[in-house]
Amino acid sequence: MSDYLTVFSIILAVIFFHYQNLKTKQHRCLDEVINRLDIITTIALNSCNTLPHARSQGEYEFNSKILRKSIDNFKSNAPTLLLKKHEFDTLSRECIELLEYIEMHTPVESPDNIETDSDGKMVNNLQTTLKVHMLANKIVSRIYKLL
């Protein structure tokens, strides 16, 4: 009887440590996602607020690539008992939506994406920056809901 109890305890301990390990990895990915989101929104907002409006010289592409990679890592390190696949798919989709908005409506990828006034300033600056903030905050709040 005591042998069974010992084996059972060991199995429980292994499961517990495995679970804790996944949670730690997941938190590291979470930190990375939030950090990259912060960098990406800063790059996008700077491109909207700095004159003359210019495209990113590779920083945006680099950080967006890391963000995508971090979300994939977040997904693969998530304890599946607690989190559902569709929640990660939604997170991934919202991330793509943010990146697409930045690439199509800010000068990050091309200054030709924006309309400028006679002083060369972006016309709908406030509307665009608010939308970038809104989409980024939506992703952050979803991440916290997942945990």
Partner 1 sequence: MMATINVAKDFSLMPSGRSHTDGSYTGEHFYDYLVRIMNSIPEDEKIIVNFDGILSAGSSFLEQSFAGLIRKRNITKSKFSDKFIIEANDYPEIREKILRYVKEA
Contact in structure between 70 and 32 (CB atoms under 8 Å): yes
Residue 143, interface with partner 1 (CB under 8 A)? no
Backbone angles phi, psi at 108, to 5 degrees: -50, -45
Residue 94, interface with partner 1 (CB under 8 A)? no
Side-chain-side CA neighbours of residue 29 (13 Å)? 21
Which residue number, 52 or 81, has a Cβ lying nearer to partner 1?
Answer: 52
User: What is the C-alpha to C-alpha distance for residues 80 and 42, in angstroms, rounded to an integer?
Assistant: 33
Residue 59, interface with partner 1 (CB under 8 A)? no
Return the structure tokens found at 7.
């084996």
Sign (positive/negative) of CA torsion 78, 79, 81, 82? negative
Residue 85, interface with partner 1 (CB under 8 A)? no
> What is the distance between the terminal CA atoms of the chain, rounded to a whole angstrom?
38
Residue 111, interface with partner 1 (CB under 8 A)? yes
User: Between residue 65 and residue 84, which ones bind partner 1 under the rule CB under 8 A?
Assistant: 65, 68
Residue 100, interface with partner 1 (CB under 8 A)? yes
Residue 61, interface with partner 1 (CB under 8 A)? yes
Which residue number, 79 or 111, has a Cβ lying nearer to partner 1?
Answer: 111
Q: How far is the CB of 89 from partner 1 (least distance, A)?
A: 12
Please choose, from the candidates 41, 33, 39, the residue with its C-alpha nearest in 3D space to the C-alpha of residue 75.
33
Backbone angles phi, psi at 6, to 5 degrees: -65, -50
Residue 103, interface with partner 1 (CB under 8 A)? yes
Select the span of 27-35, 62-70, 124-132, 135-143 touching partner 1 (CB under 8 A): 62-70
Binding site for partner 1 (CB under 8 A): 55, 61, 64-65, 68, 96, 99-100, 103-104, 109-113
